[in-house]
Amino acid sequence: MDRICGIVIFLLGAGIFWQGRGLSMGNLRAPGPGFFPNLVAFGMMILSPVLIIPGKKGEGEAFSTKSMFRVGLVFVVLLAYSFTMEYLGFVVMSFLLMIYLFKAFGGSQRWSLAVLWALISVGLTYVLFDIVLDANLPRGLLGV
Amino acid sequence: MDLLHNLYMGFSVALIPVNFFFCFVGVFLGTLVGVLPGIGPGASIALLLPVTYTLRPETAVIMLAGIWYGAQYGGSTTSILVNIPGEASSVITCLDGYQMARQGRAGPALGISAFGSFIGGTLSVIGLMLLGPWLARYALRFGAPEYFSLTCMSLIILSFLSRGSIIKCYISALAGLFTGLIGTDSIYGVLRFTYGSLTLSDGVGIVPVIMGLFGVAEVLTNIEQEEIRDIFKAKIKNLFPSLKDWKDSIGAIIQGSVLGFFLGIIPGAGPVMASFTSYAVQRRLSRHPEEFGKGAIAGVAAPETANNAASTSGMIPLFSLGLPSNVIMALFLGALMIHGITPSPFLVTEHPQVFWGVICSMYVGNILLLILNLPLIPMWVKLLKIPYGILFPLILLFCLIGVYTLNTNSYEILIMLIFGGVGYLMRKTGFEGAPFCFAMIIGPLMETNLRQALLQSRGNLGVFFTRPISAVVMGIACLLLILQLVPMVRKKSEVIKEQEDS
């Protein structure tokens, strides 16, 4: 596990170098915008072999495919929410999201209960943020 | 006389009904998030930041500070009753606190941690009051080299906090430094790593990152865990510790106050380090070290006092140097900046109502917390019975709305989710979120001061070692770095880790 992390860190450092190549380094008298990013990237690349080489055993939990799938699914749903929320409106999307989340986290929770909880939570937050705090939550295409 | 005059002004600010009300709201919410797992003071202060825009600056900080030190009180309750630390700074309290609860002494354990917190918090406020203005006058002599040295030292100190691998902690910090650099370069105004994104040209906001790393990631990690909770059922009685309990723990409380106060001032240290160190010191000092881990009341009193003292004294660097000493202080800095107040050595003289008002509100807040915590413990315990299946979706919903309303920008949600995912992977692979966040905040400060120092000295790196204050700070930083490389320190941190695991 550590070895993979080390490689990822090394690539990240190299990536910063590569992406930051357009920024001028400057010199010690007048360090340019690229000076500090390169310093940071250099640090990452120097430290990463410490993780790669010894390949310590046992550290870090193993990822089980089952749990990764559950977490991944929730994550993808949240991402989808962030992309669609402004177009389809806060109330509608949050309501759907909350039904999903209550089902996903609650395990054996019944549908009716999940819908009820979603209704209460979205309703209360809508009143609190949109009406009391005047936060202008997006209404979206449906106008709600 | 000056002090009395200032105190009078401070209390007249703190006791205005509006400020008193928000102080109460702050400590109440603080206790709440301290008790509830899954959301900590960082994420909740980040969440409430937009709400404070409409308040006066002192009122905003009074409330946010209340959440901060209130969470230190609340965190101990769950450590003692269910062996689940509500906050990182209460991890060590589990050792003896939970043992006491199992022996039927939950009452005195909760009582001593509330009184200890009160004493530690109050002594620390007195220290803040005396030391803050003095340090602010001294800080006028600080230039770019001094600030750079201080930020270097704080990053090194932070790595001592790491519970796992020190290398991973440094890597985490480097990644944080990089994230802090995204956006517009402070000296030349060049856009860096923004790829044409308007949202990114302002830099990656600290609020979405904190909510991602500490809110979303926490929830994601919990999805895969089965719900195993052993709610404490026995009745809690005798909240007031007996005379013997007081005798056993008074030394620990005094030690915890002093140690917590000084560790809190050091940028990069803070309540977590204070509670661990204080526990270790107390065991060393004790005449019965074998009792520790088996329900020694001093083992509850020392860390709980220390974390409160440290959370208060952590404001000293912010108010007198303008240097945030931890993630929470960075959020306070953000709250003040919104109102056009830049924390600097001039803050005490230019905005006395903020400095003295906040200090005096902390006396008030500590008393409110004592009242909230002692008689109301049964109510907080009931909150623990909220099933995770309800609690976690709600936390996610609050994070989503909170981060969106920050700028009415759905890209902020995306940033939060990305860091939520990154935070989840970091947890699974043994990297910690705290160094990342801290480095991200300190990064721009570090870069600007490094570059300014080099510009002023015409590229002479010696400037960090020849100016007296800078030299002392750099010296300490180098010394700490050397200490870290010595394997002995390594072993020590493993011992602490083992204690924590057991």
pLDDT tens track for B336-378: 887 888 888 888 888 888 888 888 898 899 889 888 877 787 7
Mean pLDDT within B381-393: 79
Q: Closest-CA residue in chain A for B419?
A: A75
d(CA B3, CA B359): 12
Q: Closest-CA residue in chain A for B421?
A: A75
Beta carbons of B192 and A23 less than 8 Å apart: yes
Distance, in angstroms, between B4 CA and closest chain A CA? 39
Q: Mutating which of B401, B446, B485 best tests the A interface, going by the most A Cβ atoms within 10 A?
A: B401
Q: Please determine, for residue B456, whether its predicted confidence score (pLDDT) is greater than 90.
A: no
> Which two tokens mark B133?
């203005």
pTM: 0.81
Alpha-carbon separation of residue B447 from A36, B246, B318, B370, B499 (angstroms):
6, 49, 18, 42, 38
d(CA B459, CA B449): 13
d(CA B461, CA B470): 12
Q: Please determine, for residue B22, whether its predicted confidence score (pLDDT) is greater than 70.
A: yes
d(CA B304, CA B310): 10
When CB atoms are compared, the residue of A20, A27, A82 closest to B413 is A82
Distance, in angstroms, between A115 CA and closest chain B CA? 12
Q: Is A114 touching B (CB cutoff 8 A)?
A: no
pLDDT tens track for B127-176: 888 888 888 888 888 888 888 998 888 888 877 766 667 888 888 899 99
Mean pLDDT within B17-37: 89
**What ipTM does the predicted assembly reach?**
0.87
**CB neighbours of B263 closer than 8 A, spacing ≥ 6?**
B269, B270, B273, B274, B277, B306, B310
Which has more confidence, B268 or A78?
A78
pLDDT tens track for B219-269: 888 777 655 555 555 566 677 888 888 888 888 999 999 999 998 888 877
B236: left (phi over 0), alpha (psi -120 to 50) or beta: beta
pLDDT tens track for A84-134: 888 888 888 888 888 888 888 776 667 888 888 888 888 888 887 777 776
Chain A hits for B390, CB-CB cut-off 8 Å, are 102, 105-106, 117
Beta carbons of B397 and A121 less than 8 Å apart: yes
Q: Please determine, for residue B439, whether its predicted confidence score (pLDDT) is greater than 50.
A: yes
Distance, in angstroms, between A143 CA and closest chain B CA? 17
Spatial contact of B147 and B411, defined as CB atoms under 8 Å apart: no
Q: Please determine, for residue A60, whether its predicted confidence score (pLDDT) is greater than 50.
A: no
What is the helix (H) or strand (E) element at residue B187, kind and residue range?
A: none
To 5 degrees, how large is the angle CA B20–CA B26–CA B30? 150
Q: Please determine, for residue B200, whether its predicted confidence score (pLDDT) is greater than 50.
A: yes
d(CA B74, CA B208): 24
Which has more confidence, B14 or A129?
B14
Q: Where are the alpha helices (DSSP H) in A21-131?
A: 35-52, 65-88, 90-106, 111-126
Mean pLDDT of chain B: 83
Q: Is A81 touching B (CB cutoff 8 A)?
A: yes
Q: In which band, very low, low, confident or very high, does the pLDDT at A59 lie, cut at 50, 70 and 90?
A: very low
The amino acid occupying position B105 is: R
Other CB atoms closer than 10 Å to residue B280's CB: what's the count? 18
Q: Please determine, for residue B492, whether its predicted confidence score (pLDDT) is greater than 60.
A: no
B431: left (phi over 0), alpha (psi -120 to 50) or beta: beta
> Which two tokens mark B481?
């770095």
When CB atoms are compared, the residue of A33, A44, A106 closest to B389 is A106
Q: In which band, very low, low, confident or very high, does the pLDDT at B419 lie, cut at 50, 70 and 90?
A: very high
Per-residue DSSP letters for B269-287? --HHHHHHHHHHHHHHH-S
* Residues within 8 A of B (CB atoms), A 5-64 only: 5, 9, 12, 16, 19-20, 23, 27-33, 35-37, 40-41, 43-44, 47-48, 50-51, 59-61, 63-64
